[in-house]
């Protein structure tokens, strides 16, 4: 993988099956990707080996993989608050178990790290949910470190300053960040390029995604094709250079009627700015 190599999120072309999606990425001439969340039953040694072989055959490096959980929904701000990550004590044991299986899967598939949306983080360290999330992420970080993996927290559901404080609380050297500039806008949290400068030392990968700020309190913003939102993509790429980022830039397109076209135009834009 080249420094700041442009890749694409595996399911962004609109193909859910990861093996078929790898074939599509090969057709589009991409060489780096991230694996999206899979159902828990996918995390078997057989599938890990199959995925490793399919990626090698396609000439595609899987730089990291997202772990998701049954029952999560990103349909609205309220859905995210109620369903995503480690905010629910009732769901925590199952989700920790799935994460541990995903860690083993990543090792077997030759994937160097896992990525997580941990959910809405209460900013007050004394909040019981904050403590619960801190304990959960500590267990995950330690399990991943024992297998030589990093754990990337995705930006968006808390302010950059709050995420930085949480990372300092965790105090685990394998805790990193998957920086998604659009999420910070879509959730109405932080200006992405200021946040990138603040969090830069922890950023191991990033998404190339764009969007518009929410127009109503409590509502999510709107995703747009890259370069048509309020991230300011030229400034974003310039900031990546400024902080010395060398990881992959992964195009993520989660909506739209021409996702393949949007992905190809996004690659052209990013390559022109690198």
Summarised one tens digit per residue, pLDDT across range 169-211 is: 999 999 999 999 999 999 999 999 999 999 999 999 999 999 9
- Whether residue 149 is contained in a domain is answered as yes
pLDDT category of residue 217 using cuts at 50, 70 and 90 = confident
List phi, psi (to 5°) of 65.
-140, 135
pLDDT category of residue 134 using cuts at 50, 70 and 90 = very high
Q: What is the pLDDT of residue 19?
A: 98
Q: Is the pLDDT of residue 43 over 90?
A: yes
- Alpha carbon distance 12, 14 (integer Å): 5
pLDDT category of residue 218 using cuts at 50, 70 and 90 = confident
Provide the domain limits for residue 39. Answer: 6-273
- Whether residue 93 is contained in a domain is answered as yes
State CA 150 to chain mean position distance.
13
Q: What is the pLDDT of residue 70?
A: 96
- Whether residue 1 is contained in a domain is answered as no
Q: Which two tokens stand for residue 48?
A: 């890990």
Beta pairing partners, 33: 8, 62
Sequence length of the chain is 274
> How big is the CA angle at 120 (ends 88 and 151), to the nearest 5 degrees?
90
Q: What is the pLDDT of residue 48?
A: 98
Q: Is the pLDDT of residue 59 over 90?
A: yes
Q: Which two tokens stand for residue 170?
A: 């965790």
Q: State the Rg of the chain over Cα.
A: 17
State CA 65 to chain mean position distance.
8
Summarised one tens digit per residue, pLDDT across range 90-116 is: 999 999 999 999 999 999 999 999 999
Which residue's structure tokens are 């390029």?
Answer: 193
% the chain with pLDDT above 70:
100
- Alpha carbon distance 247, 203 (integer Å): 8
CATH of the domain at 34: 3.20.20.150
Q: Is the pLDDT of residue 31 over 90?
A: yes
- Alpha carbon distance 47, 58 (integer Å): 16
- Whether residue 32 is contained in a domain is answered as yes
Summarised one tens digit per residue, pLDDT across range 1-22 is: 899 999 999 999 999 999 999 9
Half-sphere exposure of 8 (CA within 13 A, CB side): 31
Stretch 46-60: mean pLDDT, rounded?
98
Q: What is the pLDDT of residue 83?
A: 97
Q: What is the pLDDT of residue 4?
A: 97
pTM above 0.75, yes or no: yes
pLDDT category of residue 39 using cuts at 50, 70 and 90 = very high
- Round the average pLDDT of the chain to a whole number and report it: 97
- Alpha carbon distance 140, 135 (integer Å): 9
Q: Which two tokens stand for residue 241?
A: 């250079």
Closest CA to 65 of 37, 99, 88, 100: 37
- Whether residue 145 is contained in a domain is answered as yes
DSSP assignment string, 144-166? HHHTT-EEEEESSSS-HHHHHHH
Q: Are 162 and 121 in contact (CB under 8 A)?
A: yes
Stretch 38-48: mean pLDDT, rounded?
98
Q: Count up the domains in the chain and report the number.
A: 1
């Amino acid at each position: 993988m080249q420094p700041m190599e442009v890749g694409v999120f595996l399911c962004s072309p609109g193909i859910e099956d990861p093996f078929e999606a790898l074939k599509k990425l090969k057709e589009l001439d991409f060489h780096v990707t991230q694996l999206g969340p899979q159902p828990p039953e996918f995390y078997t040694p057989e599938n890990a080996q199959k995925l490793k072989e399919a990626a090698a055959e396609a000439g595609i490096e899987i730089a990291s993989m997202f772990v998701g959980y049954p029952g999560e929904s990103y349909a609205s701000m309220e859905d995210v608050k109620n369903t995503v990550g480690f905010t629910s004590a009732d769901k925590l044991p199952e989700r920790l178990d799935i994460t541990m299986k995903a860690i083993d899967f990543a090792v077997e598939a030759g994937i160097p790290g896992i990525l997580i949306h941990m959910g809405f983080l209460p900013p007050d360290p004394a909040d019981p949910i904050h403590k619960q999330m801190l304990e959960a992420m500590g267990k995950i970080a330690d399990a991943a470190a024992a297998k030589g993996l990093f754990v990337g927290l995705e930006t968006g559901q808390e302010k950059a300053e709050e995420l930085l404080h949480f990372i300092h609380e965790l105090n685990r050297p394998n805790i990193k960040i998957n920086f998604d500039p659009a999420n910070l806008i879509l959730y109405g949290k932080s200006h992405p390029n200021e946040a990138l400068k603040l969090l830069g030392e922890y950023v191991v990968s990033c998404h190339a995604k764009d969007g518009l700020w929410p127009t109503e309190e409590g509502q999510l913003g709107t995703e747009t094709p890259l370069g048509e939102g309020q991230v300011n993509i030229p400034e974003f790429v310039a900031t990546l250079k400024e902080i010395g980022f060398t990881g992959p830039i992964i195009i993520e397109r989660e909506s739209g009627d021409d996702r393949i076209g949007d992905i190809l135009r996004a690659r052209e834009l990013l390559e022109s700015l690198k």
